[in-house]
Amino acid sequence: MIAAQTSKPWLQTLRLSLTGIVLFLGCWYLAVFLEVTPRRFLPAPHEVLFRFVQLIQEPFVGFTLGQHLLSSFRRFLNGFLLAIAIGIPLGLLMALSRGVQLLVTPIFESIRFVAPIAWVPFAALWFGTGIGGPTLVIFMGAFPPVLINTYRGAIYVDRKYIEAAKMLGAGPIRLMTQVLFPASLPSIVAGLRISAGLGWQSLVGAELIVASSGVGYMMVKGQASIQTQIVMAGMIAIGLVGLLIDILLRRMERRFNRYQEVH
């Protein structure tokens, strides 16, 4: 019996995993067939899947699913890149200069507690509902982890390297780009992963409230016309893209960690 258990533990895991999925789908189908709620509120799993495929081919509220995703992704990239472009240099600067650190910390600490989504009204007022408004909301979600991780990574860089670089005549800019930045890279990349997750999540929120295209907008329209399949298809699409972004960044993270171990 012990031998049987140790020889194929993966088989048991697989069996249980399949049971879990079957149970989940089974409950879903059961709820659909017993008509717990009317069909349009709870479509069957395969209907959601059909609608998903259909959305890829046919436009809904003006765009196909691919186009909605593209416009969402472009907004996400804007906000995310902006967070990187400001967060990394600022984090390095804070680690280097006491003055900057004293100036930024209180502002940052107080703004951090504002949920990114609460920026939506100002975002719409200042930058409109096209690209700019949602970008600000994504930026507010994505910025804190980048800044925090860059700063933490940079203050834990071995003082020896900084002293050595200073002695060899490196100015503050070279110190930042050639010493602090490479040394804190693993921490920065770890921050990027968190930041991308939060940014993607803020994007969805921003699009639910202010946007005229994008997956979030598509879901709101589906919700308004009680087409639950569209709402669920949107959730799947958002989940998939989020997962893809996370996998990409995780791969990057692993590479930089290996880099650190070798050197």
Partner 1 sequence: MPSSLPSFVRYLYPPVFLLGTLLAWFAVSEWWQWISPTRFPTPTQTAEAFQRILIQGYGNGRLHQHIVQSVLLVSLSFTISAALGIALGIFMGASRKIEALVNPVFLTLRPIPPLAWIPLAIVWLGLENSAKVMVIFVAAFVPSVINTFTGIRSLEVPQREAARMLGIRGRAYYFEVLIPAAMPMIFTGMRLSLQASWTTLVASELVGAVLGLGSILNQAAQDINPPMILVGMIFVALSGWLMTYGLGLLERLAIPWRPV
Binding window for partner 1 (CB under 8 A); candidates: 64-72, 80-88, 183-191, 227-235? 227-235
66 forms part of the interface with partner 1 (CB under 8 A)? no
Q: Answer whether 222's CB lies under 8 Å from 231's CB.
A: yes
CA distance 23 to 117: 36
Contact window for partner 1 (CB under 8 A) among 66-74, 84-92, 121-129, 175-183? 121-129
When binding is defined by CB under 8 A, the residue of 55, 92, 142, 220 that contacts partner 1 is 220
Q: How far is CA 110 from the centre of its chain?
A: 22
- Alpha carbons 79 and 73: distance in angstroms, whole number: 10
Place of tokens 């087409």: 227
**226 scored as a contact of partner 1 (CB under 8 A):** yes
Closest by CA to 104, choosing from 115, 120, 92, is 92
Amino acid at 146: V
- Contacting range for partner 1; rule: CB under 8 A; set: 161-169, 174-182, 226-234, 251-259: 226-234
- According to DSSP, the residues that pair with 191 across neighbouring strands are none
Cα 244 to chain centroid distance, Å, stands at 10
**Is residue 191 within the footprint of partner 1 (CB under 8 A)?**
no
Nearest to 176 by CA among 93, 86, 259, 260: 93
3-state secondary structure of 60: strand
Of 13 and 177, the one with the shorter C-beta distance to partner 1 is 13
Position among 1, 113, 171, 263 found at the interface with partner 1 (CB under 8 A): 113
- Should residue 209 be labelled a site residue for partner 1 when binding is judged by CB under 8 A? yes
CB distance 126 to 188 below 8 Å: no
Residues 5, 7, 57, 110: which binds partner 1 (CB under 8 A)?
110
Residue placing its CB nearer to partner 1 in the complex, 224 or 262: 224
Closest CA to 88 of 195, 222, 219, 236: 195
Which 124-183 positions form the footprint of partner 1 (CB under 8 A)? 124-126
Contact flag: residue 116 with partner 1 (CB under 8 A): yes
Q: Which residues bind partner 1 (CB under 8 A)?
A: 12-14, 16-21, 23-24, 37, 41, 98, 101-102, 105-107, 110-111, 113-122, 124-126, 200-202, 204-205, 208-209, 216, 219-220, 222-223, 226, 228, 231-232, 234-236, 238-240, 242-243, 246
